[in-house]
Amino acid sequence: MNLCSMYKQTLINATQAGAKELKRFFNGKFFISNKEGINNLVTEADHASDKAIREVIKTAFPDHGIVSEESEEKISESEYKWIIDPIDGTVNFANSIPICCVSIGLEYRGEMLMGAVFNPILNEFFFAEKNKGATLNDQKISVSDKTEVLTSCLVTGFPYTYLDQPNGPLQVFSRLIKKGIPLRRLGSAAIDLCWVAAGRFDGFYEHQLYPWDSAAGFLIVEEAGGKVTNLKGEKYSPFEFGIIATNGKIHDELVEWINAE
């Protein structure tokens, strides 16, 4: 097995290991605590998933760096970085809403090589490898062909604490829905991105995300033929807050909608 195949198999194994814990706890009883900010939950299942994922990665690549929502980053000199969300959509998960998933991206020298997002409740496994396309349950996926925002179905998310910023989440949301544009809020950015990649949504935007929210999903969108930028329409990095991800055809127009004063 070559090194690239080893990375892929480790990514798949780690994602499945985390998802096994998610599914084991789903719709059951577990301990829930609150991180900084209202409704910023973490559960016993998040920690179990995080542990299972780390064990797989560290067994295969003990020197690689790991960034996880539920663990402090340990300094690593490796040029490889695994970016993990052991459960994206924790509030959904804690309320037995089946829109939640495990999300893992593998980055090398600042470029995302691979990404996987798995919702074991719906049995949907999204995967992408740089320059090799994106799949859902091993079947190739591609973005939609809508060409204008007014006829598009969009999805967004909101931070749990609203930032005091001009043209923020509520203002943009209001601007779009007042024009009758369908705009959904699922509660999992990783799934939002994957559903753009699969053509279910035509576009997604959010004002505040963290690397583990989007590291895998944004590559999946790009490899499905879509476009991902920051809120200004510039090159995207998962290490900045804002994101716009679309089928590419409505991208420039959606950037204008979001930045209109």
Domain edges within the chain: 3-140, 149-259
**Domain range 149-259, CATH architecture:** 3-Layer(aba) Sandwich (3.40)
Helices (H), 26-160: 44-60, 90-94
- Return the percentage of the chain with pLDDT > 70, whole number: 91
Non-local (6+) Cβ contacts of 4 within 8 A are: none
pLDDT band at residue 34 under the 50/70/90 scheme: low
Whether the pLDDT of residue 36 is over 70: the answer is no
The pTM of this model reads: 0.94
Give the angle subtended at the CA of 71 by the CAs of 40 and 51, to the nearest 5°: 105
Q: What's the confidence (pLDDT) of residue 241?
A: 87
144-191 pLDDT tens trace: 999 999 999 999 999 877 667 778 898 999 999 999 999 999 999 999
By C-alpha distance, which of 111, 132, 8, 109 is closest to 61? 8
Q: Look at residue 32 in the predicted model and tell me its pLDDT.
A: 59
Give me the percent of the chain exceeding a pLDDT of 90.
78
Q: What is the largest CA-CA distance in the chain?
A: 54
Q: How far apart are CA 126 and CA 102, in angstroms?
A: 10
Asked whether the beta carbons of 65 and 57 are under 8 A apart, the reply is no
| Cβ atoms 176, 205 nearer than 8 A | no
How confident is the model over 180-229, as pLDDT tens digits? 999 999 999 999 999 999 999 999 999 999 999 999 999 999 999 999 99
To the question of domain 3-140 being in CATH 3.30.540.10, the answer is yes
